[in-house]
């Protein structure tokens, strides 16, 4: 028995905001943003679009690639920090949009590590229960809705988007799965360095919290930077060691797209050459839980993934949460 990734999908909203647009909104420059983060532009959802709308587009594309009808799905996991509502879950809203009536659906909140957490969750569910055959995992974010557009420390970093993967169980005893190894970590001691202070049960909405702009992302960027490099590096090394795969054997490293300096610091410490490090944050920015899946889909649809390729995936986000997965691509070239 093995679990295979049989379809990828992603969606980036039409509207593009460039660094030059941001220059008109806060005291910043294209040069600062490009050199400090690697970002040149990002996509923004329209007012009418919520996370589930972005999720629907990405999920539909992944299901089409997987040649899977929505009513074949047993489970839908949506990773998001920007759900349509506190409840019902964005997973249930996506279920309705897709017509996936057989599935049970829920949201998972692990910030930028959300898709990795969802992968482990879906893989474990499929492996544990003989009745479950297919799962859809989605990372969907409308980060523009929780971005303080007057704060230059954060507003230059984020973008909107969604990605989706279809996972299927193969009962052949000798079959090889797509997920060789996966390891997840959390450390709640760092909860405050990356958070939205108000709007939850700790500090419900009030005139005071609104005036203090406490419903937007707050981040201690420098602290997050160091922890992100160390966390993704050690998790990345651990999954490779567990699978017995050396860094030289990797075809790609895909890291959460927060900052090209963070990604390159991890790649340098693994002695990975530039051509094996996939970066698309120049045109996406940080899309939190969507970012890794957008990268995988971009690589897949441009024919840059082949059967047998080893892909190291690493992620890091609020919580703190972090982790890594070593994938072995099982699809024929798209």
Catalogue the long-range contacts made by 193-199 (C-beta closer than 8 Å, 24 or more residues apart): 193/219, 193/220, 193/223, 193/224, 193/227, 193/320, 194/111, 194/218, 194/219, 194/220, 194/224, 194/317, 194/318, 194/319, 194/320, 195/318, 196/146
Q: Which residue has the tokens 């005036």?
A: 211
User: Would you say 194 or 327 has its CB closer to ligand ACO?
Assistant: 194
Q: Which is nearer to ligand ACO, 24 or 222 (CB)?
A: 222
- Smallest distance from ligand ACO to CB 246, Å: 27
Residue of 92, 105, 112, 284 with catalytic role: 112
User: 256 catalytic, yes or no?
Assistant: yes
Give me the catalytic one of 256, 280, 284, 295: 256
Cα separation of the two ends of the chain: 24
Radius of gyration of the chain (CA): 19
CB of 205 to ligand ACO, least distance (A): 20
Q: Looking at beta carbons only, is 37 or 95 nearer to ligand ACO?
A: 37
Question: Considering beta carbons, is residue 133 or 152 the nearer one to ligand ACO?
Answer: 152
Residue 286, SS3 per DSSP:
strand
Q: How far is the CB of 10 from ligand ACO (least distance, A)?
A: 18
Footprint on this chain of ligand ACO (rule: CB under 6 A):
28, 32-33, 36-37, 111-112, 152-153, 156, 194, 217, 221-222, 224-225, 228, 258-259, 262, 286, 288, 316-318
CA–CA dist 5, 168 (Å, integer): 6
- Is 284 noted as a catalytic residue in this protein? no
As to burial, measured by CB atoms within 10 angstroms (0-12 exposed, 13-18 middle, 19+ buried), residue 223 is middle
Write down the least CB distance from residue 115 to ligand ACO, Å: 12
Among all residues, which ones are annotated catalytic? 112, 256, 286
């Amino acid at each position: 028995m093995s679990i295979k990734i049989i379809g990828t999908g992603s969606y980036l909203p039409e509207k593009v905001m460039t660094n030059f647009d941001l220059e008109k909104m806060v005291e910043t420059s294209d040069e600062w943003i490009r050199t400090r983060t690697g970002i040149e532009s990002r996509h923004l959802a329209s007012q009418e679009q919520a996370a589930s709308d972005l999720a629907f587009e990405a999920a539909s594309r992944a299901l089409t690639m997987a040649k899977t009808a929505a009513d074949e799905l047993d489970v839908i996991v949506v990773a998001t920090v920007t759900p349509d509502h506190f409840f019902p879950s964005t997973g249930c809203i996506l279920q309705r949009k897709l017509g996936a009536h057989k599935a049970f659906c829920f949201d998972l909140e692990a910030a930028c590590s959300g898709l990795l957490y969802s992968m482990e969750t879906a893989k474990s569910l499929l492996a544990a229960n003989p009745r479950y055959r297919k799962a859809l995992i989605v990372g969907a974010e409308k980060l523009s809705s929780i971005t303080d557009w007057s704060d230059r420390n954060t507003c230059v970093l984020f973008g909107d988007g969604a990605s989706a993967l279809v996972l299927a169980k193969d009962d052949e005893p000798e079959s090889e799965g797509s997920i060789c190894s996966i390891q997840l970590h959390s450390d709640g001691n760092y909860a405050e360095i990356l958070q939205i202070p108000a709007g939850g049960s700790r500090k419900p909405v009030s005139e005071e919290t609104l005036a203090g702009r406490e419903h937007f992302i707050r981040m201690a960027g420098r602290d997050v930077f160091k922890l992100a490099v160390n966390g993704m590096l050690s998790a990345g090394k651990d999954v490779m060691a567990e699978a017995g795969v050396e860094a030289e054997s990797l075809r790609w490293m895909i890291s959460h797209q927060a900052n090209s300096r963070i990604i390159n610091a991890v790649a340098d410490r693994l002695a990975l050459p530039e051509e094996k490090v996939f970066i698309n944050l120049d045109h996406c920015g940080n899309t939190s839980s969507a970012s890794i899946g957008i990268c995988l889909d971009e690589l897949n649809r441009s024919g840059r993934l082949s059967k047998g390729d080893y892909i190291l995936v690493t992620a890091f986000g609020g919580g703190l949460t972090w982790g890594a997965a070593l994938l072995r691509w099982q699809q024929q070239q798209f």
